[in-house]
């Protein structure tokens, strides 16, 4: 069986060395005679592994000691509601910056638990650009400010950390976490679903400033309270042991391949190659996003004639290029260029795009 080039937006490509190591260790993890999925999460082997995974992540991202790191079950969407439950009291307000589908959904899901103030939105511009910072109507009394650093569907990305004063900045980084260095201290809370740059679906990573764990909010079951999960080292209930293990293999792969600075350079080269091909196609392919905020992770594009879409998808898959169909909300095409997608994959894609344009006119 030959491997294909996987451009899926998520669940997405995993690094081949990670998959190969997981394959080798599937039946006998660490000489234990059993899979990691068959081990007790409270056993010495798993606890030691979990501690190493967190240490590797802290090293990669430069996470300060006054931040807790949680490895939770589920995905980021659950935390659209759980974040206001943990950071806001009843009657509190929170600012939301709407830059695409996921930040808009986060605001909608937060509404039962906090007074949502849409402090800025680019929806009127079809989410093709970021709302200008001078137009943001931030509330200095807000419980937090929420952004999505990268919009997986609409293909826009924050290239700089916005200034929000003393209010904690909360960031959904599901689709660009670990794609380059960041200053964690600029954020109050970072959260990310694993299935793009971390590992398989079913795991969500949360990085939270410890003082925010102490906020008095509202009555809720312990299972929803971040402070309880932090106090139990993310083992308040049985965690996703397989996802945690694979995340650890991914972190080791990142360290072995130059860390986040190297990933940033790789991702710059990949995205620039694809955007240059789109922009240089004479209008055959189009990406309407304002160039300064074009995502390096998710590149949506259309063909000059949508009647060619079906042929493009059929022929690209036959050429070993998987999952290029755009999200149903936008149509067209989308290529996701996460860390595990090598430059060779993007070169294969642009070669196909040029050949398709020649053949179909």
| Assigned token pair, 315 | 């022929």
Q: What is the pLDDT of residue 243?
A: 97
Residues 6 or more apart whose CB falls under 8 angstroms from that of 9 comprise 152, 153, 175, 196, 298, 323, 327, 334, 336
pLDDT tens readout for residues 12-54: 999 999 999 999 999 999 999 999 999 999 999 999 999 999 9
3-class SS of residue 329: coil
Catalytic entry in 92, 95, 172, 176: 172
pLDDT band at 3 (very low <50, low <70, confident <90, very high): confident
Cα(287)–Cα(262) distance, rounded to whole angstroms?
A: 26
Determine if residue 149 is labeled as part of a ligand binding site.
Answer: no
H or E element at residue 95: strand 93-98
Q: Is the pLDDT of residue 206 over 70?
A: yes
Determine if residue 197 is labeled as part of a ligand binding site.
Answer: no
Q: What is the pLDDT of residue 361?
A: 84
CB 188 within 8 A of CB 143: no
Determine if residue 195 is labeled as part of a ligand binding site.
Answer: yes
| Assigned token pair, 195 | 């299935």
Residues 6 or more apart whose CB falls under 8 angstroms from that of 280 comprise none
Q: What is the pLDDT of residue 2?
A: 77
Nearest to 6 by CA among 257, 334, 267: 334
Q: Is the peptide bond before 253 cis (omega within 30 degrees of 0)?
A: no
Catalytic entry in 56, 196, 244, 270: 196
Cα(83)–Cα(145) distance, rounded to whole angstroms?
A: 11
Work out the mean pLDDT of the chain and round it to a whole number. Answer: 97
| Assigned token pair, 343 | 């430059």
Nearest to 361 by CA among 247, 282, 275: 282
Q: Hey, CA dihedral for 138, 213, 105, 111, is it positive or negative?
A: negative
Report the relative pairing of strands 93-98 and 115-121 from DSSP bridges: parallel
Determine if residue 217 is labeled as part of a ligand binding site.
Answer: no
136 is catalytic: no
Catalytic entry in 5, 29, 102, 244: 102
pLDDT band at 269 (very low <50, low <70, confident <90, very high): very high
Task: State the virtual CA torsion across 98, 104, 107, 108 in degrees, nearest 10.
Answer: 150
Q: What is the pLDDT of residue 226?
A: 98
For Cα atoms 358, 344, 329, give the angle at the middle one, nearest 5 degrees.
Answer: 70
Q: What is the pLDDT of residue 265?
A: 98
Task: Please give the average per-residue pLDDT across 256-281, as a whole number.
Answer: 98
Task: Please give the average per-residue pLDDT across 148-176, as a whole number.
Answer: 97
Task: Please give the average per-residue pLDDT across 87-106, as a whole number.
Answer: 97
Q: What is the pLDDT of residue 101?
A: 96
Percent of the chain with pLDDT over 90: 98
Q: Hey, CA dihedral for 328, 330, 333, 338, is it positive or negative?
A: negative
Round to the nearest angstrom and report the end-to-end CA distance of the chain.
34
CB 137 within 8 A of CB 117: yes
Nearest to 42 by CA among 202, 237, 222: 237
Q: What is the pLDDT of residue 1?
A: 53
Q: What is the pLDDT of residue 178?
A: 98
Determine if residue 237 is labeled as part of a ligand binding site.
Answer: yes
Provide DSSP, 148-174.
Answer: ESB-TTT-BB-SSPPP-TTSPEEEE-T
Task: Please give the average per-residue pLDDT across 331-336, as a whole number.
Answer: 96
Nearest to 76 by CA among 149, 169, 155: 149
CB 78 within 8 A of CB 172: no
56 is catalytic: no
Cα(274)–Cα(296) distance, rounded to whole angstroms?
A: 10
Determine if residue 241 is labeled as part of a ligand binding site.
Answer: no
pLDDT tens readout for residues 161-172: 999 999 999 999
222 is catalytic: no
Task: Please give the average per-residue pLDDT across 269-280, as a whole number.
Answer: 98
pLDDT band at 187 (very low <50, low <70, confident <90, very high): very high
Q: Indicate the DSSP class of residue 341.
A: S
Determine if residue 238 is labeled as part of a ligand binding site.
Answer: yes
pLDDT tens readout for residues 244-268: 999 999 999 999 999 999 999 999 9
For Cα atoms 193, 255, 202, give the angle at the middle one, nearest 5 degrees.
Answer: 20
Provide DSSP, 193-222.
Answer: ESTTTTSSTTEEEEEEEHHHHT-------G
Q: What is the pLDDT of residue 4?
A: 94
Task: Please give the average per-residue pLDDT across 295-306, as a whole number.
Answer: 98
């Amino acid at each position: 069986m030959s491997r294909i080039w996987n451009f899926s937006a998520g669940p997405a490509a995993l690094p081949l060395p990670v998959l190969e190591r997981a394959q080798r260790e599937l039946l006998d993890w660490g000489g234990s005679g059993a899979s990691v999925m068959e081990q007790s999460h409270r056993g010495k082997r798993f606890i030691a592994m979990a501690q190493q995974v967190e240490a590797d992540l802290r090293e990669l991202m430069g996470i300060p000691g006054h931040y807790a790191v949680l490895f939770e079950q589920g995905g980021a969407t659950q935390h659209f509601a759980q974040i206001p439950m943990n950071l806001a009291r009843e009657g509190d307000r929170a600012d939301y910056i709407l830059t695409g589908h996921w930040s808009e959904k986060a605001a909608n899901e937060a509404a039962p638990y906090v007074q949502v103030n849409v402090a800025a939105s680019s929806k009127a511009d079809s989410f093709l650009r970021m709302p200008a910072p001078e137009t943001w109507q931030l509330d200095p009394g807000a419980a937090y400010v929420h952004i999505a650093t990268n919009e997986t569907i609409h293909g826009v990305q924050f290239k700089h950390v916005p200034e929000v004063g003393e209010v904690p900045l909360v960031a959904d980084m599901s689709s660009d976490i670990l794609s380059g260095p960041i200053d964690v201290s600029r954020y109050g809370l970072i959260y990310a679903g694993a299935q793009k740059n971390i590992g398989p679906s079913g795991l969500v990573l949360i990085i939270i400033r410890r003082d925010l764990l102490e906020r008095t909010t509202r009555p809720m079951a312990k299972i929803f309270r971040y402070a309880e999960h932090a106090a139990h080292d993310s083992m308040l209930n049985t965690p996703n042991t397989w996802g945690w293990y694979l995340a650890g293999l991914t972190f080791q792969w990142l360290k072995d391949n130059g860390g986040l600075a190297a990933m940033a350079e790789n991702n710059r080269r990949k995205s620039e190659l694809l955007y240059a091909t789109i922009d240089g196609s004479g209008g055959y392919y189009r990406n309407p996003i304002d160039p300064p905020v074009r995502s390096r992770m998710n590149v949506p594009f259309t063909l000059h004639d949508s009647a060619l879409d079906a042929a493009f998808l059929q022929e690209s898959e036959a050429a070993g290029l998987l999952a290029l169909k755009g999200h149903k909300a936008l149509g067209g095409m989308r290529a996701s260029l996460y860390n595990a997608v090598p430059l060779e994959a993007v070169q294969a894609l642009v070669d196909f795009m040029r050949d398709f344009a020649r053949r179909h006119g």
